[in-house]
Amino acid sequence: MPLERILYAEDEPDIQAVAKVALELLGGFEVQVCGNGREALAAVRDFAPDLILLDVMMPGMDGPATLAQLRADPATAAIPVIFLTAKVQPAEVVYYQSLGALDVVAKPFDPMTLAAQVKQIWSAARG
Give the start-to-end residue ranges of the domains of the chain. 5-126
State the 10-residue block means of pLDDT for the chain, 127 residues long: 95 97 97 97 97 96 97 97 94 95 96 97 92
pTM for the structure as a whole: 0.96
The CATH-assigned architecture of domain 5-126 is 3-Layer(aba) Sandwich (3.40)
- Predicted pLDDT of residue 13: 97
Contacts within 8 Å (CB) and 24+ apart, 31-35: 31/5, 31/6, 31/7, 32/5, 32/6, 32/7, 32/8, 33/8, 33/9, 34/7, 34/8, 34/9, 34/10, 35/9, 35/10, 35/11
